[in-house]
A and B are shown apart, each in its own frame.
Chain A
Amino acid sequence: MTDVLTPVLSAGWADDRAWTLDAYTRRGGYRALAKALTTTPAELIDLVKESGLRGRGGAGFPTGMKWSFIPKDNPNPTYLVVNADESEPGTCKDIPLMMASPHTLVEGVIIASRAIEAERAFIYVRGEVLHVVRRLRAAVREAYEAGHLGRDIGGSGMNLDVVVHAGAGAYICGEETALLDSLEGRRGQPRLRPPFPAVAGLYASPTVINNVESIASVPAIVEHGIEWFGSMGTEKSKGFTLYSLSGHVKRPGQYEAPLGITLRELLELGGGMRPSPDGTDAELKFWTPGGSSTPILTAEHLDVPLDYEGVGAAGSMLGTKALQVFDQTTSVVRCVLRWTEFYKHESCGKCTPCREGTWWLVQVLRRLDSGQGRAGDIELLQELCGNILGRSFCALGDGATSPITSAIQYFRDEFESGMHTPSAELFPPVASTLFATEATA
């Protein structure tokens, strides 16, 4: 057995001036790059393929396989694009990684670019995180100055230029083809596939798009090998990953562990649920395993292994491992309404099921939240979700239905209460707040 927590990505975050090239190099940074520069691109792709690394941005697609889809005979240049548009509600792992250790990402970008033979790479970071943008830009500048970027890197003949590109506030740009449109200077709307980005991505050229954490995991795999990587995690979900615990817990934060840890174990490490405002022990009511687009789970799922297969078997998705935990003071109807308002706000408008459907969902949920629900509203919600799921242009629409259908599955009576009683009466919002104890005292 490996240890319960296995900091790799987060190991250096407490170091003095961890964001600098100096600090990163002192900890062994850019050793993996030196090794990669003496390895052929094909060998690098095989290594990452065999490591079993799967995408950490939510879908869990094997990273090495994605790389191998890049055609060898395409006359256009190949691009690497890092999806650093972390915006899925509950998800908060890439931002601290890039803030504390941007060089981990930059080193991963260089190695990945070598593997797919790209000479240009882009880091598309959401715009609403000023200090992270500063840290990324400085890290890229330092990497140029150290000769890790630019022409003939480390005497290997490899060339690479990296641009840090700040977005401008649009959740949809986390969808990889919408991100590409945005990076081309357009409205961020998803593209029809095929063709897939591997064949016709940025500027209609072969493109690999990977999540920050996926790319940042590559240097450690290159340095320590696939057996080391596979000694963590489970058979089909290998390696270490960042779990982000938030909400009504004593110690919210980032917990880096082998894939397959359970929420019960994570909660125990952090001292459990917060004390309830009335002094009793708080009870876990519901939680998301990987952001708001993954169906909610309940206390009966505390022992589900948090890996791709385990969470899938429990009827949800591992997603981004964003564990948002809510206790018994929380109205599930209020939460579902707020998430749905988010999807309505962020729907790009390209396809009808999502654009219109999320608008209607909000209307019905507002009624239920204010105790004005009508007979048949629950069935209406389910019908609307049925008309969105699988019928919208991209995964945003699918994600919008997840909290609704799962919440009705586990808490139908609360939606029924919405026919006559406002959620704020059943669950006074002040009791759920961080400052509840002072507020109610």
Chain B
Amino acid sequence: MSVFDEATVGELRELMGRYPQARSALLPMLHLLQSVEGHVSTAGIELCAELLDLSAAEVSGVATFYTMYKRRPMGTHHVGVCTNTLCAVMGGDAIFERLSDHLGVGHDETTEDGQVTLERVECNAACDFAPVMMVNWEFFDRQDPASAVELVDRLRDGEQVASPRGAEITSWREAERVLAGFEDGRVDEGPAAGDASLVGLEIANERGWSAPVADSAASAAQESKGEAVAEADTQRAESETVAEESGADVEGGAGDRQEASGGGSEPQAEGKADD
């Protein structure tokens, strides 16, 4: 076990201590080992097995089940191109093809200079920003083949690159440390939301729309709205207040569309959803 220093073993034990049963820490522990070694090695698997009193086969079975765990050394940066249906159609396929040509590597392969590992990734929950790329699991929205090439070139040149909806790009290994459960002080970088996330809110504000004002909450809400107007982000706070004062309907709503909604199917068995 000499590959890993005492500090790493200490952090692995710390992760184990966060759960009622230590084995729950296995996924975070594997993330941490990746941040230390750049992949999940046989020595890493054996260390986890020893700490958790499992067989190496049991740990190996877990490490090979999840796509984020890599059994081969990774590049400095992980570049994922979403080629699930919507992103693929919106341009993800063309982006992956261009990047693959440009870098001279295919899916799950690393460039000769060790800088970039390219991967096709599945839906990354940013379809309203399609086509999407991920660098070390940070979002890069609405890409095209040219912007993708420029992005990877900047990464390979060691230039500073920041995610438009996240933090400055460090490295895949540093990202893995955060995923394991150790904060890196970058939480306040980047915006709260990207533009697409705010589309509905902007339209509502433009038109003076809001959720109904609840009777019981009306007085409290009015006070705090007054403060909000004085304090922050004036335009939208004002439009919201105006909307509320103009008396957005409290009643109605329910049942208005009942004629249209036909056969009421029973709620499905719990856990039907995949999400």
Contact = CB atoms under 8 A, between A and B. Distances in A.
Partners in one complex: yes
Contact of B65 (A170, A291, A326): A170
Interface in A206-243: 209, 211, 223-225, 227-228, 230-236, 238, 240, 243
Contact of A309 (B26, B122, B236, B265): B265
Interface in B204-237: 204, 207, 209-212, 214-217, 220-221, 224, 227-228, 231-233, 236
Contacts of B114: none
A310 B261 contact: yes
A281 interface: no
Contacts of B124: 128-129
A106 to B, nearest CB: 14
B272 A59 contact: yes
Interface residues on A, range: 35 or more
A41 interface: no
Given A62-B267, A224-B217, A2 B200 contact: no
Given A91-B275, A168-B30, A434-B144, A2 B248 contact: yes
Given A91-B127, A310-B260, A434-B142, A3 B271 contact: no
Contacts of B265: 308-309, 312-313
Contacts of B43: none
Contact of B198 (A13, A61, A126, A293): A13
Nearest to A141: B183
A295 interface: no
A54 B184 CA distance: 37
B251 A185 contact: no
B163 A225 contact: no
A434 B130 CA distance: 8
A319 B273 contact: yes
**Interface hub of B28, B134, B210, B211 (most chain A Cβ within 10 A):** B211
Contacts of A111: none
A154 interface: no
A92 B273 contact: no
Interface in A171-202: 171-172, 174-177, 182-188, 193, 196-197
B254 A245 contact: no
Interface residues of B, number: 124
Given A5-B209, A62-B267, A305 B216 contact: no
Interface in A138-191: 138, 141, 163-172, 174-177, 182-188
Contacts of A197: 271
A309 B250 contact: no
B273 A16 contact: no
A277 to B, nearest CB: 12
Given A130-B138, A399-B274, A313 B262 contact: yes
Contacts of B21: 184-185, 203
A104 interface: no
B127 A92 contact: yes
Nearest to A224: B214
B193 interface: yes
Nearest 10 A-B pairs (CB), nearest first? A58-B273, A253-B199, A185-B26, A168-B66, A255-B200, A3-B209, A224-B214, A313-B262, A169-B68, A169-B67
8 contacts: A129-B125, A131-B139, A133-B179, A134-B183, A168-B66, A254-B200, A260-B261, A304-B260
Given A11-B201, A55-B273, 18 more contacts: A2-B212, A5-B200, A8-B211, A19-B187, A28-B224, A86-B275, A90-B123, A96-B197, A128-B134, A164-B181, A188-B66, A223-B217, A234-B254, A234-B261, A236-B264, A252-B196, A339-B84, A432-B90
